[in-house]
Amino acid sequence: MAPKLSHLLLAILVIFSIQTFKGRARTLKPEHQQSFSSFLQKLEGVQRGQTAEGLLHLKKYLKKFGYYPSDATLTSSDFDDHLELALKTYQKYFGLNVTGNLDSSTTQQMMIPRCGVPDIINPPSTEPNSTKSKHKRFHMVAHYDFGSAKWPPSKYALTYTFGQGVQVFDLNTLRSVCADAFQKWAEVTSFTFTEATDGASADIVIAFYSGDHGDGTSFDGPGNILAHAFYPQNGRLHYDADENWSTDPTMNQNDLESVSVHEIGHLLGLDHSNDPEAIMYPTIETGTKKRDLTQDDIDGIHALYSN
């Protein structure tokens, strides 16, 4: 009787595990998922001239996304003039009321999951004679930005492969999602995207990673940065394995295809757009499917590869 009971319990455990991990190889710790939001909520209402625990972390967050000069040294937890200016720049970028304060609308915007690529590339230097204080890396047309880095015509037939990282989806699911995402860009450009044969080198390498994964841009766990990609001709696309991913997201899940289409835009050379409807907008709410290119995205990629 005991062996039969143990076999039954084992079968139930296996079935439960399959259902729990279907499409996923990792589980999330809910307390970690709330940490970034909780951190911002504690700072809401802090004003210029005050000192508060967490302000230094906020400054580093804003610097990461281009709202501080790239050579700025951040050491204090004071709400100073520089933080006020950074907040105003952030608020203007996202179409918020420009107050320079840590108001509710600003902290709510920061809580939305986002791409890890900066919104402002190479912001002005603190040095008045620096070339960075005179020139931006990107050119702005309409809402979208793009840099000088792009694929040469000899590389319009791009290949991609899946690297060794954390297994979040089975390979066939990942292949299908990425193929659909690449196709969105292929339909409006001269690019073709083909999965490389096993063992062959590829122009683009796609993988999931956690935390520090050796590329100089660590992931932060659940609830903030979803993914990042590098500009031509680097060709790396990384997803944060600790996010709650799905191919058909519910309210608290992130849509893999939507994020993939966005990151491929970076792989092709596009920066972020401040058009909230565009694929290249920096943030995307959980539970949202945003998979189709807008005219802003199409205009951006056409302008980048027009000559």
pLDDT digits (tens, 9 = 90+) for 19-32: 433 344 444 444 44
Give buried/exposed letters for 157-182 (b at 16+ CB in 10 A, else e). ebbbbbeebeebbeeeebeebbeebb
The C-alpha atoms of residue 102 and residue 91 are separated, in whole angstroms, by 10
- Number of structural domains in the chain: 2
Lowest mean pLDDT segment, chosen from 112-126, 164-178, 211-225: 112-126
Residue 70, domain member (yes or no): yes
Same domain, 62 and 155: no
Q: Helix, strand, or coil here: 297?
A: helix
Please say if 84 is a catalytic residue.
no
For range 224-251, the mean pLDDT? 97
Residue 208, domain member (yes or no): yes
Report the binding-site residues for Zn(2+): 115, 213, 215, 228, 238, 262, 266, 272, 280
Mean model confidence pLDDT for the chain? 86
Same domain, 105 and 157: no
Report the binding-site residues for Ca(2+): 203, 220-221, 240, 243
Using CA of residue 124, residue 127, residue 131, residue 133, what is the dihedral sign? Answer: positive
Q: What's the pLDDT at 138? A: 37
67: confidence class by pLDDT, cuts 50, 70, 90: very high
- Integer-rounded Cα radius of gyration of the chain: 21
Same domain, 68 and 179: no
178: confidence class by pLDDT, cuts 50, 70, 90: very high
Strands 254-255 and 114-115: unpaired
Q: What's the pLDDT at 223? A: 87
Report the binding-site residues: 115, 203, 213, 215, 220-221, 228, 238, 240, 243, 262, 266, 272, 280
Q: Among the three residues 111, 135, 166, which one is the final residue of a domain in this structure?
A: 111
Residue 139, domain member (yes or no): no
Burial of 266 (0-12, 13-18, 19+ CB in 10 A): buried
CATH number at residue 89: 1.10.101.10
Q: What's the pLDDT at 4? A: 52
Residue 3, domain member (yes or no): no
Same domain, 273 and 154: yes
Percent of the chain with pLDDT over 70: 80
Q: What's the pLDDT at 39? A: 85
Same domain, 155 and 287: yes
For range 242-252, the mean pLDDT? 97
Same domain, 100 and 158: no
Which residues span the domain enclosing 50?
32-111
For range 222-244, the mean pLDDT? 96
Q: Are 273 and 117 in contact (CB under 8 A)?
A: no
Residue 134, domain member (yes or no): no
pLDDT tens, 283-305?
999 999 999 999 999 999 999 99
Same domain, 239 and 194: yes
Residue 298, domain member (yes or no): yes
The C-alpha atoms of residue 71 and residue 41 are separated, in whole angstroms, by 28
Q: Which of 53, 127, 257, 263 is catalytic?
A: 263
Residue 299, domain member (yes or no): yes
The C-alpha atoms of residue 86 and residue 69 are separated, in whole angstroms, by 9
The C-alpha atoms of residue 150 and residue 156 are separated, in whole angstroms, by 10
The C-alpha atoms of residue 237 and residue 230 are separated, in whole angstroms, by 7
pTM to 2 decimal places: 0.84
Residues with Cβ within 8 Å of 121's Cβ and at least 6 positions away in sequence, in order, are 66, 136, 137, 138, 145, 147, 271
Residue whose token pair is 């960075």: 132
Q: Among the three residues 111, 138, 154, which one is the final residue of a domain in this structure?
A: 111
Same domain, 175 and 224: yes
Residue 276, domain member (yes or no): yes
Same domain, 279 and 188: yes
Same domain, 194 and 240: yes
Same domain, 98 and 43: yes
Q: Among the three residues 96, 111, 126, which one is the final residue of a domain in this structure?
A: 111
Q: What's the pLDDT at 7? A: 54
CATH number at residue 250: 3.40.390.10
Q: What's the pLDDT at 70? A: 86
Same domain, 96 and 168: no
